């Protein structure tokens, strides 16, 4: 989907309530919100939509797409929370160390260590977001293959039945 089409797709989904009953349309909108490169990226909205989708369409063959997307989004959220906690811990550590009169070199060493941890967590978060994009692409490819197989199966049934 091209960048300008994102907003149009979401607007159409919001305007046409019949699309809310369509598992594929609903899943695609959730995936738009789940894709970090999408201008409509909204992880919390995507999580809510995927949870609702799984509850509404539990037997849908695309369940794995929704489950995988939900798992990746929740992991991304967990990693961001860890990064925020590490940042907060670094600030508290800096305040505590200054309060007890620790030397500047010791304080800087500890801050550098926490900053490295933060960078590692941020890298992990970036990898998870990149993985979401890769898996979204892979899921689209699998869906296209499945559609092609369905067409082959349907055309084979029609030719065999004639």
Q: Each residue of 10-64: pLDDT tens digit? A: 778 878 778 888 999 999 999 999 988 888 899 999 999 999 999 999 999 999 9
CA distance 125 to 77: 9
Query: Nearest-CA neighbor of 10 among 51, 31, 23?
Result: 31
Write the pLDDT tens digit of every residue in 119-159. Answer: 888 888 889 888 888 888 888 898 899 888 988 888 877 77
Domain count, the chain: 1
Q: Is residue 156 part of a domain?
A: no
Where in the sequence is the domain holding 19, given as residue range(s)? 3-150
Question: Would the pLDDT of 161 be above 60?
Answer: no
| Radius of gyration, CA atoms only, the chain | 23
Burial 100-115 (b: 16+ CB within 10 A, else e): eebeeeeeeebeeebe
pLDDT at site 56: 95
């Amino acid at each position: 989907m091209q960048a300008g089409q994102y907003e149009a797709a979401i607007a159409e989904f919001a305007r046409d309530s019949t699309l809310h009953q369509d598992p594929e349309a609903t899943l695609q909108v959730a995936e738009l919100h789940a894709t970090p490169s999408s201008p409509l990226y909204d992880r919390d909205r995507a999580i809510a939509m995927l949870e609702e989708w799984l509850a509404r369409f539990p037997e849908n063959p695309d369940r794995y797409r929704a489950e995988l997307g939900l798992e990746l989004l929740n992991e991304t959220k967990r990693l961001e929370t860890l990064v925020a906690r590490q940042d907060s811990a670094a600030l508290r550590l800096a305040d505590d160390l200054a309060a007890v009169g620790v030397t500047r070199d010791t304080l800087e060493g500890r801050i550098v260590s926490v900053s490295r941890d933060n960078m590692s967590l941020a890298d992990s978060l970036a990898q998870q977001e990149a993985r979401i994009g890769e898996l979204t692409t892979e899921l689209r490819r699998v869906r296209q293959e499945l559609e092609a197989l369905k067409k082959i199966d349907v055309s084979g049934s029609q030719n065999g039945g004639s």
